[in-house]
Structure formats: C-alpha cells, structure tokens
Amino acid sequence: FLLDKKDLHKYHQVNFLAGFTSLAHVWEHRHRARSEVLRQKHQSHAILRLGPNDLSFADVAAIKDIYGHYSPCRKDDMYNLTAGSHGNMLNVVDRDEHARKRRMLSHAFSTKNLENWEFKIREKTEHFVKHIDQCCTSPLSDSTVKPEDLKLKFRLYSNLLTIDVIADIAMSEKLGMIEQGSPTVNIDGGETSRPLNFIRSLHGAPRVSSPIIRTGSLFQTLKFLSWWLSSEVRSNWGESEKFTKIVSNLASKNIDKFSSTEKQSDFLGYLMLDKAGGLRSLERGELEAELHILLDAGSDTTAIALTNAVYYLLKSPKVLVALRREIDEALSGETIAPFSKVKNLPFLRACIDEGLRLSPPIARGLERKTPPEGMRIMDQHIAGNVTVAVPTYVIHRNPNIFEDPDAYNPHRWFGEKEKVDQMRAAFIPFSTGGRACIGRNITFIEQQIVLATLVYGYEFALPSKNWELQREEYFNYWPSEMPLKVWKRQLPT
Ligand code: HEM
C-alpha cells in the first residue's frame, strides 16, 4: 500500500478497504443492488479503485480501450476460478484457445442458421401460451387487481421457457419444463432417478461465489471458511455441484446417442462434427464444459431480459400502446408470432434494447487484465496486470449520453443519428469485441417472438399501480418473481 508501485493511490477508493485488501469486494456485496451503489459513487469520479489492484472506468472511451477488438487486455484471472476440469468458451482466458472454441460454434450462432431452429422456439412458446391460457381471468374492470387473479408467475415461467429452448437448441433435449410447471430435471442414477432443481442449482453457486470471486488468492480460503458459516451457504456451494451433475447427465445421454451420420441439428452436432462432417473428437470434459456454459448463459440472461421487458412495458402504458400498434400491423391472427413477421419491427427492437439498457442482465463491469507492460485507458497510463472494467449498468445510465437516464423511453433510439450513434457506442449489454456474447442472436429471436406473441394476444396487469419489481445482484442482476393477472385481448379486426 505504501510503495504504491502501480500508482493507483491517485484514484478514489470505492470504500475504506479498497486500497488495502481485495476484501473490499466482499464488503460491497452487502448491497442488494451493487451496481446502483457504484453508479452513485461514480457520479463524482470517472475512475474508481475497487480493490488494491482493481479499477472501474465509467467512461465510454474506456469501452474500446478495454474490450475493443484491438485491446491488449485479456480476461482477468478470476475467470479461471469458475472453470472445472476444462475451461469453456466464456471462462477460457488464453486467446488462441478461445478462438478455437469460438470457431466451432460461430456458424451455429448465426441468425441464418438459428432461423432453421425457429421451430424449437415456437414449440416452447406454444407451451408457454397454453399455460397463459390456463391462467387467464376476466378482463380488469377497475384498476384493482384481486390477489387470486395473479395466476401467472411470469419470472418463473419465462425461465422455464428459456431453459426448455436452450436445452433443445444445445442438444435436442426436450425437458418439458413448461408443461410440468417446474424446473425439475430427473437425473438417472442407475436404478433410481433423482429429481434436481435446475434453477435452484444454477443460482446456488453465484450466491456464494460472487461475493468472494474478486478476492483472487484469498478465494479458496474464503470458500473453505464460508463453508462453516451456515448451512445455507453450504447448501449453495453444494448446488453448484448439482448443476454440474444435471449438465453431465444430459450431456452424456445425448453424446452417447449421437451418431456421426446425424446432421448438425443442434450445438452438440457442431461440437461433434466439423463443417465437412468429420468427427472433431473433443474430450468429453470439454464437450460437457461447453454445454454447461450454453445451458447457463443461454437460459438465465434471456429470462431476466424478458421479465424486465414485460415489467417496463406494463409500467409504461403509452409505450405499450405504440408497440401494439406496430405489432397489430405486422400480424394477422397468429397465435405465435412468426419470426419473419417480427424480426424487422423497429419499435419492438427498441423496447427490447431499452429494457436491456435500464436493467442489463449482467450489470457489473466485466473484468479484464492489462498486459504486463501496462497500457493507456482514457488517455492515462495504467500499470500492467491491473484488473480493469467498465460497469455496464453505470454507463447505461450516464446522463451525458442518455437523456433522462432512468426513464424507460424506447423512442430515444429514433432520435438524431449523431445522438443515437453516441448511445449505441455506450450500449454494451452483450459486452463488445472478441469476447462479446455469442448468443445475442438467439436472445433476440426468442424475445421478439415471445414479446410479440404476448403483446398481441394478451393483456396483463401488475399486482398494483405502485408495484415495483425487486432485484438482487450477484453475477447476474436477478429480478424477483413477477405475479401477473392476464386476460385475452380482443384482437383487432
Ligand atoms: C439477454 C440475453 C443475454 C445477455 C444480456 C448476455 C450477455 C453476455 C455478456 C455481457 C457476455 C460477456 C461475458 C464476459 O465477458 O464475462 C456474454 C458472453 C457469452 N454469452 Fe451471452 N448473453 C445473453 C444471452 C446469451 C445466450 C442466449 C447464449 C446462448 C447460449 C449466450 C452465450 C454466451 C457465451 C457462450 C458467451 C461467451 C462468449 C465468449 O467469450 O466468446 N448468451 N453474454
């Protein structure tokens, strides 16, 4: 601390611990909404010191410097801590290894290829719509919603939908969660089949690892100590093993039945076979690691985005009317919106983008490491091997870029070109550069089909006019349950 070899003293500390110990991160985790707190602290300081070796940059110029295609930054070492026996596309740090992994799936993730798998999304949306039909009540007569009418658990069911979709896209696995109404997966264990809860097991590990992951060398010790803290913490650490079990069980089943004569009809097919149809012969551990990240990153984030999108629309009746107008013109009585009819609707896209701006599912800054020789960020020299990040939530609510930044206003995306370009440069829900989200095309197809279908066919009401969606933040920024009253909409003639 006293030597300050990396010249980081000059930056304002996020809390009293930040200059001395990486436990500063654990301390910040006491906030349920860390990103909102960070935003307030960034208001008077564009650069904040989050830990002894850790800086946060709330400036659009830093995005290119840190994440751009030509940035010398690498993923931070903390990503290694999330890897099992094999790294996956998200947590692998080595550039060449990442490029090899990404090449195997890049064609599979193109919109053109994904459109061939639209039927997988439509089928799950049909199941979702069937469930919504069962939840329908009579139209709202006055503004009071009866508690017994709040039949649709939107947060849960949107998550069941996204899990069902990604399991089918990833490995043609039909989990049928929407039909069974629960996130249970039956794991084959010899003669007995064991039910495991997909969502609970996916959410367990982040609850306990997110507060300590940025403590670097202290991580393993803190993990060990936290194990003794309470039975709840222990059980959350155990959940992460259960998620691995779910994935390896589903993966084994589908890898074993995969035959090299099959076509590339899911991501597993692309991992098993190259373009020419030859076997890639990846180790089973690598296959499982890739399927693991697809089921994880491909389900939770889109469910969060859908919940936020519907919430903001219900809170903004005028926006909802404008969106309906656009969708009514595009559809003509379909129960499920065909992608071809909704993929180019500008206002629908703006509504989705605006939800991602206000509540990015991954709100925190994504950690990168400066090269050993150091580099320039925001025109300042930053020493080597420093963890650096731009916090997505903070940059998305910068009033100099986004006017009235807390307002849900999809119309902002249709302003003057120069202004919109400036906003686009600061809009990073999927990150940017070589490590940006590979799954963004899937989430847009999913969200466009589902939102258009719901807005066209149904009316929804929140529990009350002043009802607010609660959130808690770990790696992802999770919304709480959102119970809705739903009824059928009179379709335009
Ligand atoms: C609204 C939905 C989504 C959001 C906001 C989102 C956001 C992100 C972000 C911010 C990253 C960079 C993470 C980092 O640098 O640590 C990322 C990476 C990734 N996402 Fe997504 N994502 C979404 C949907 C999906 C879907 C549907 C999939 C499909 C499987 C997916 C798969 C991945 C993968 C594999 C990576 C790692 C890419 C790489 O490093 O090359 N994501 N995502």
Over range 30-41, report the average pLDDT.
Answer: 93
Q: Give Cβ neighbours of residue 302 (< 8 Å, ≥ 6 apart).
A: 162, 165, 361, 442, 443, 446, 447
CB 250 within 8 A of CB 61: no
* Strands (E) located in 385-427: 387-389
The Å distance, Cα 302 to ligand 1 centre, comes to 10
**Nearest CA, atom 7, ligand 1:** 430
Coil, helix or strand at residue 143: coil
Q: Any residues with Cβ below 6 Å from ligand 1, and which?
A: 89-90, 102, 166, 293-294, 297-298, 301-302, 305, 361-362, 366, 429-431, 435, 437-439, 442-443
Cα→Cα distances 3→9, 301, 461, Å: 10, 42, 59
**Distance from C-alpha of 235 to C-alpha of 233, rounded to nearest angstrom:** 5
More confident residue, 345 or 490: 345
What pLDDT does 262 receive? 66
Least confident of 47-51, 119-123, 191-195, 312-316: 191-195
Q: How far apart (Å, rounded) are the C-alpha atoms in residues 62 and 69?
A: 13
Question: What are the structure tokens assigned to 313, written together?
Answer: 């629309």
C-alpha 112, offset from chain centre: 22
Strands 54-57 and 387-389: parallel
pLDDT at 192: 65
* Res. 456: pLDDT tops 90: yes
pLDDT-based confidence at 291, cuts 50/70/90? very high
pLDDT class of 188 with cuts at 50, 70, 90: confident
Q: What is the mean pLDDT of residues 10-17?
A: 95
Give yes or no for a contact between 472 and 324, defined as CB atoms under 8 angstroms apart.
no
* Average per-residue pLDDT for the chain: 94
The predicted model gives 198-220 an average pLDDT of: 92
Q: How far is the CA of 198 from the centre of ligand 1 (A)?
A: 19
**Percent of the chain, pLDDT > 90?**
82
**Average pLDDT, stretch 160-186?**
96
Distance 22 CA to ligand 1 centre (A): 26
Q: Which atom of ligand 1 is nearest to the CA of 79?
A: 16
Q: Taking 90 as the threshold, does the pLDDT of residue 241 lie above it?
A: no
Q: What is the pTM of this model?
A: 0.96
Residue 259 in this model has a pLDDT that exceeds 80: no
How confident is the model over 353-374, as pLDDT tens digits? Answer: 999 999 999 999 999 999 999 9
Q: Do 470 and 311 meet the contact criterion of CB atoms below 8 Å apart?
A: no
Residue 190 has pLDDT above 80, yes or no: no
Q: What is the pLDDT of residue 191?
A: 60
Mean pLDDT of 251-259: 82
Q: Is a pLDDT exceeding 90 seen at residue 281?
A: no
Q: Which residue has the higher pLDDT, 193 or 77?
A: 77
Rounded to 5 degrees, what angle do the CA atoms 178, 249, 440 make?
55
Mean pLDDT over 395-420 rounds to: 97
